Amino acid sequence: MFFFWGSFFSAAQVSTEIDTTKIRVGEQINYKINVEADSLDLVVFPEGQTFMPLENVEALKIDTTKRQATFILSRIYKLTQFDSGAYTIPRQKVIIGEKPFFTDSLKVEVNTIVVDTTKQKLYDIKPIIEVEESGSDWWKWLLIAVLAIALVAFLLYWFIWRTKPLSEEEEIALLPPYDRAKLALKKLDESQLLMRAEVKEYYSELTFIIRKYLDEKVYDRALESTTSELIERLNLLKEGNQIPLSKETILHIESILRRADLVKFAKSAPDTALAEMDKSTIDKAIDHVKVCLPEPSEEEKLLDQKYKEAQERRKKRRKIWITVGISLFLIIATFVGFGIKYGFGYVKDTIIGHESKELLEGEWVKSAYGFPPVWIETPKVLKRVEPQVPEEAKAQVNMTTFAYGTMLDAFSVVINTTTLKTPKQQSPQGENTDKPTFDLVQVSEQTIKGFEAKGATDITVKRDKFITPNNAEGLKTFGTLNLKMPGTEHLIDAEYILLCFSNDNVLQQIVITWSKDDAYADEMIERITNSIELKSEEPEEEKE
């Protein structure tokens, strides 16, 4: 390897060096720019891909060397090319202070690698490798939904449907009246109220036990009646042969109730032994009432069973209504919450489903279609469609068509590439004429007539210049139209965009149609149009 010194400019202020002028495909060239400048001068070196048709692989950091009163600034660029041929590195612009300086252009040869097929092993073409689709996060949202439903179901079961353990009071309340009365007397005996001389509380509890039992089994107003009213009622029931109580039992009950009245209201204080005797008397009276009262008949038991079953059904219906009410509330609250945050239409489309929403939020595909390629990003892969070319035109043009959907669908994208088989016309002197091969305005008019042939009506037409992100310039034709659904008279308000590009003998067209009422179409169209890339200018290459 050796260094080839370039020319010097402006009193040797800017010079270039290159380590070789002949490389093989893919090898790199060290292209160096040297600048001699004053310490106060601002020096700006070339940046980016200014070495086309060679590719700038890497630009090293600027190296500074002091030489007497000036500085030598050097920067090395690593350049390469992957196609064989003879190329010219264009002049490079260097700014010193406010004045531009230009280097000289240099020629470089890129040679192919010679392969000896007698020694080099040859292999079959490798089969196509199937690539798995990248996974989505749908399972995370499913897991969150399942956990939320499980949590709500657990809370409903725990607070509504679960059979809760009964408290001691609830268990006592489920006992028959006789058993409750006997248990209450037992607890009264264990309360030790008499030992603490709390006679008033003792008699209050004792009379409540007998009144409660009589209220449930004999007279349903025993709790709210006075002693005289209760005794009078018991006597009337006995005389009417409605209760088989003995006269003696009624007298014992009356005696105890009146003594309790004296204790509660007259502050009487009977002896402890008398209080215990009264308790025993009440105990026997309860036994006597139980013995005297007849057993319920089978019909009464059946009615009681039916009553209990009806109560259970009412309780179950109540649980069902509570569950349904809570579930509806949670569903409505969730819908309203997400609707406020994301919009009610978006939430509705998420639940019910919307074709354009699924396309917008799905996995988009960026690919090249036709030749020269049209790079575009779309919700779905465009499939090759057999173009409808007249027989007389097949000898003159080649046409390829890639499409997703049709004009009658809710959303469609079509890419047409037309290539003339005959070369572009030249002038008698052998130079290309300035007149373009394709008139894009006329092409757009023919496409609009094609829309009409497919049943489109009320077409509005607007035109504007369209520039792709990589600076390819074309014609944009857009507007609205009405489409008739097949087999019906129903019209759909739709919009369209027609993008036309021409380059020598090639015409490239991109047609997008969508429903005017589609809330997600605008975002899709913007994403698609922003992704379109075509080569606006081919790099100039000089080949031997």
Beta bridge partners of 73: 35, 64
DSSP per residue, 59-110: EPPPEEEEETTEEEEEEEEEEE-SS-EEEEEPP-EEEETTEEEEPPPEEEEE
Same-domain status, 205 and 284: yes
The larger pLDDT score, comparing residue 473 to residue 140, is at 473
- Taking the C-alpha atoms of residue 364 and residue 380, their distance in angstroms, rounded to an integer, is 6
Instruction: Give me the pLDDT at residue 126, please.
Output: 73
Q: How confident is the model at residue 8 (pLDDT cuts 50, 70, 90)?
A: very low
Nearest to 73 by CA among 156, 160, 30, 15: 15
Worst-scoring range by mean pLDDT, 105-114, 288-297, 491-500, 526-535?
288-297
User: Looking at the domain assignment, is residue 222 inside a domain?
Assistant: yes
pLDDT per position as a tens digit, 185-244: 888 888 888 888 888 898 899 899 988 888 888 888 888 889 899 888 888 888 887 777
> 455 and 375: one domain?
yes
In sequence order, the 6+-apart residues with CB closer than 8 A to the CB of 286 are: 178, 181, 182, 185, 209, 210, 213
Question: How high is the pLDDT of residue 438?
Answer: 81
**pLDDT at 511 (0 to 100):** 92
Query: Do 263 and 187 fall into the same domain?
Result: yes
The percentage of the chain sitting over the pLDDT mark of 70, rounded to a whole number, equals: 82
Q: Identify the band that residue 510 occupies on the pLDDT scale cut at 50, 70 and 90.
A: very high
Give me the phi and psi of 408, to 5 degrees please.
-85, -5
Measured CA to CA in angstroms, residue 237 lies from 232, 243, 250 at distances of: 9, 6, 11
Burial of 206 (0-12, 13-18, 19+ CB in 10 A): buried
More reliable by pLDDT, 162 or 131: 162
Of 49-58, 340-349, 501-510, the range with the lowest mean pLDDT is 340-349
Q: Does 259 lie in the same domain as 188?
A: yes
Domain of residue 38 covers 14-111
User: Residue 513 pLDDT > 70, yes or no?
Assistant: yes
Q: Are 411 and 355 in contact (CB under 8 A)?
A: yes
Please indicate, yes or no, whether residues 526 and 390 belong to a single structural domain of this protein.
Answer: yes
User: Do 274 and 359 sit in the same domain of this protein?
Assistant: no
Instruction: Kindly report whether the global pTM for this prediction surpasses the value 0.75.
Output: no
CATH number at 21 reads 2.60.40.10
C-alpha span between 224 and 229 (Å, rounded): 9
What residues form DSSP beta bridges with 80? 28, 55
pLDDT-based confidence at 247, cuts 50/70/90?
confident
pLDDT at 49 over 50: yes
Q: Residue 495 phi/psi, 5° resolution?
A: -125, 160
Measured in degrees and rounded to the nearest 5, phi and psi for residue 74 equal: -130, 140
477 and 371 fall within a common domain: yes
Please say which residue of 277, 292, 307 terminates a domain.
292
Q: Which residues pair with 523 in a beta bridge?
A: none
Say yes or no to pLDDT of 468 above 70: yes
Overall domain count for the chain: 3
One DSSP character per residue, 344-399 reads HHHHHHHHH--HHHHHHHS--EEEEETTTTEEEEESSPPEEE-----HHHHTTEEE
- Tell me if 543 is assigned to some domain: no
185-199, 342-356, 403-417, 420-434: which has the minimum mean pLDDT? 420-434
Instruction: Report which of residues 392 and 333 the model is more confident about.
Output: 333
Q: Is residue 275 part of a domain?
A: yes
Q: Does residue 181 sit in the same domain as residue 83?
A: no
Has residue 430 got a pLDDT over 60?
Answer: no
Domain co-membership, 218 together with 360 = no
Domain co-membership, 394 together with 501: yes
Residue 344 lies in a domain: no
Last residue of a domain, one of 243, 276, 292: 292
Residue 452: CATH number of its domain? 3.40.1000.10
* Arithmetic mean of pLDDT, 37-46: 84
Which residues of 81-207 form beta strands (DSSP E)? 85-89, 93-96, 99-102, 106-111
Query: Could you report the per-residue pLDDT of 477-506, keeping only the tens digit for each?
Result: 999 988 876 656 677 888 999 999 987 778
The last residue of one of the domains, among 292, 322, 345, is: 292
Distance separating the N- and C-terminal Cα atoms of the chain: 23
Q: Is residue 481 part of a domain?
A: yes
What pLDDT, on a 0 to 100 scale, did the predictor assign at position 470? 81
Is residue 136 predicted with pLDDT exceeding 50? yes
pLDDT for the residue numbered 499 = 92
The label of the residue with tokens 């109730």 reads 257
In the structure, what pLDDT confidence band is assigned to residue 174 with cuts at 50, 70 and 90?
A: confident
User: pLDDT higher for 450 or 137?
Assistant: 450
Percent of the chain that is helix, strand, coil (3-state, to 5): 40, 25, 35
Q: Which of 92, 8, 102, 7 is nearest to 54 (CA)?
A: 92
d(Cα 4, Cα 9) in Å, to the nearest integer?
A: 16
Q: Is residue 255 part of a domain?
A: yes
On the question of a cis peptide bond just before residue 539, with omega within 30 degrees of 0, the verdict is: no
List the one residue out of 233, 246, 227 whose CA is nearest residue 287: 246
Average pLDDT, the chain: 80
In this predicted structure, what is the pLDDT of residue 402? 92
Same domain? For 261 and 361 the reply is no
Report the distance separating Cα 4 and Cα 108, nearest Å: 12
Scan for tokens 């399942």, then name that residue: 146
Residue 497, pLDDT score: 92
* CA-closest candidate to residue 175, choices 145, 142, 216: 216
| Within a domain: 303 | no
What is the chain's length?
544
Is there a domain that residue 392 lies in?
yes
In eight-state DSSP terms, residue 19 is: S
How does pLDDT run across 292-322, given as a tens digit for each residue?
776 666 666 676 677 778 888 888 888 889 8
Give 33's contacts (C-beta < 8 A, 6+ positions apart).
14, 15, 16, 45, 46, 74, 75, 77, 92, 94, 103
For residue 542, pLDDT beyond 80:
no
**Per-residue model confidence (pLDDT) at position 414:** 92
For the stretch 52-64, pLDDT in tens is 888 888 889 888 8
pLDDT at 370 over 80: yes
Cα–Cα distance, 424 to 348 (Å, whole number): 55
In this structure, the answer to whether residues 205 and 279 fall within a common structural domain is yes
Residue tagged 């279609």 (tokens): 369
| Residue type at position 476 | K
